[in-house]
Structure 1
Amino acid sequence: MAASYELKASARDRVGKGAARALRREGLLPAVIYGDKQPALPIAVPIKETTLTLHKGGFMTHIGVIEVDGKKHQVIAKDYQLHPVRDDILHVDFLRIGKDTTLTVEVPVHFLNEEICPGIKKGGVLNIVRHTVELIVPANAIPEALEIDLAKSQPGDALKISNVTLPANVHPTITDRDFTIATIAAPAGVQEKDDTEEEGEEED
C-alpha cells in the first residue's frame, strides 16, 4: 500500500509537560514512534500538517511516512490525545511498520446497489448493525472498506460476515460465530401479516 501522507519531523531530546508546551508554542506537536523491535523515538511533528492529516479521515487505518532528520519511517497512527475543551491535538503515538507487522483495525462497511435492492424496493429497511468491522490485517494490505452487495437481498435477510469476500490474510477478530453486519427489515405490514398467519396456524 502506498503511503497516504508524509510528515517531516525532528527528534526531540526533552520530554514532559514543560517541553511539550514549549514545542506547541513553536507550532510543533510531541509524538513518538515505537515498535518493530526498535527503541521508541520521541519526535516533534508540525501541528498544522498533522491536524490536516487527522481530519482527512482514515488516520488510524492509513499508512504514512515520517521523515526524521533525513531517515524515513513507515508508520500508522495507533493513538492520539485531544485537548478536553478545544479538541486541539496534543500528542500522537505512531507504530513503526515492519515487513511482518500485523494490525487490528476498524474497517468501514460499504453497501452496494442499495437503490436496486429487492428487499428495499418491497418496503424493507436496511438496518445496519455494524458500521465497521474489527479485522486483523497485514500492515501493508489494510482494506479501505468491506463491501456487501445488496442486489439480491430480500426482506428478512441477514447479511453476515460470511457474505463478505475478505482479502487474503485478513481475518475478523470475532471468530466464534458468523456475526450479523446488517439486516433487511421486513415492512411492518408484512411482519404483522406473518404474525397473524402464525397465530391462525396455532389455533388450527
Structure 2
Amino acid sequence: MSDDFKLNAMVRNDMGKGASRRLRREANLVPAIIYGGKNAPENISIASNELEHALQNEAFYSHIITISVDGNDQDVILKDLQRHPSKTVVIHADFLRVSKTQKLHTKVPLHYINEDICVGVKMGGGIISHNMTELDISCLPADLPEYIEVDVSAVDIGGVLHISDIALPSGVESVELSHGAEHDQPIFTINKPKAAVEETTDEEAADKGDNEETSEE
C-alpha cells in the first residue's frame, strides 16, 4: 500500500443530535465512533477539514488508517460514512478496529484496465457494462490491497467476466466465492451495440412472419 493515513481525534463526551450539530457548526468537527476488537466503543470527534482531505484519496476507503485518540494510536478501517442528504458534508463516520493477526472483511474498488483496447469495443463497437465496481474480500490487514485490477482487453462482444476471473492478490479471498460456486456473479460484460440489437430483433421478427406464412400455406 503506497499511502499512509493518520487522523487525529479527541474523545467525545457529549452525546445526542444536538451535541453532534454543535460539534459540526461551532467547532468544525465531525462526530465519529471506533468499535470492534476487545475494547469498548469510543465516541470521538475529528477535524472536518482533515477528514475531508483524506476522503479525497480513493485509497482511504480501503486502507488501514491510524487514528490517534488523545495520543493513543489505533489501527482501523473506514466502515461507514454518512453525509448530509442535500450537501456533501460528512455528518458521521464509523471506524472498525483491526488486528494484525485477524482477517478482516471489507470492500475494495475494482479497476478495469485496457477498456480502450478491449476486443469487443475496438473491433465490434460493443458497449461496456460494469456489473460490479467493488468486491467483498477477506484478508489479513497486511495483505489488504488498495484496489484490484481486472484486465478486460480480451473480452469480446457478448463476453462476461465473473468474480472467479479476477486474479486476486496473494492472501486475498472473495467473500462471495467462499459461499460456493453459485455465488460467482458477473462483474463485467460487453453488450452488442444498439443498432446491432435492433437489427437482430428485426430479423427475428421477419423470420417469425415467414414461418407463419409458410404454416398458413
After TM superposition, the score normalised by the length of structure 2 is 0.76
Runs of 4+ in 1 over 6 A off after TM superposition: none
SS across alignment from 2:62 = coil
Question: In structure 2, what is the equivalent of residue 5 of structure 1?
Answer: 5
How much has 1:113 moved relative to structure 2?
Answer: 2.0
**CA distance in 1 between partners of 2:68 and 2:3 (Å):** 12
Question: In structure 2, what is the equivalent of residue 66 of structure 1?
Answer: 67
Q: Structure 2 matches for 1:76-155, cutoff 5 A? A: 76-123=77-124, 124-155=126-157
How much has 1:103 moved relative to structure 2?
Answer: 3.1
Indicate conservation of the 8 Å contact 1:78/1:94, yes or no: yes
In structure 1, runs of 5+ residues without a counterpart are none
Shifted more, 159-168 versus 82-91: the winner is 82-91
Instruction: Summarize the Cα distance change of 1:125–1:12 in structure 2 as closer, same or farther, 3 Å threshold.
Output: closer
Instruction: Summarize the Cα distance change of 1:117–1:72 in structure 2 as closer, same or farther, 3 Å threshold.
Output: same
What amino acid maps onto 2:200 in structure 1? Answer: E
How much has 1:170 moved relative to structure 2?
Answer: 2.1
How much has 1:58 moved relative to structure 2?
Answer: 4.2
Shifted more, 19-28 versus 158-167: the winner is 19-28
Shifted more, 104-113 versus 155-164: the winner is 104-113
Query: CA offsets, 1:89-146, max 9 Å, x none?
Result: 2222211121134333332222222232222222222222222222233333222222
Structure with the higher helix share, 1 or 2? 2
After TM superposition, the score normalised by the length of structure 1 is 0.80
SS across alignment from 1:60 = helix
Residue 180 of structure 2 is aligned to residue 179 of structure 1: no
How much has 1:42 moved relative to structure 2?
Answer: 1.9
What amino acid maps onto 1:12 in structure 2? Answer: R
State the percentage of identical aligned residues.
Answer: 36
How much has 1:10 moved relative to structure 2?
Answer: 1.8
Question: In structure 1, what is the equivalent of residue 30 of structure 2?
Answer: 29
**CA distance in 1 between partners of 2:88 and 2:120 (Å):** 42
RMSD value over aligned CA atoms? 2.8
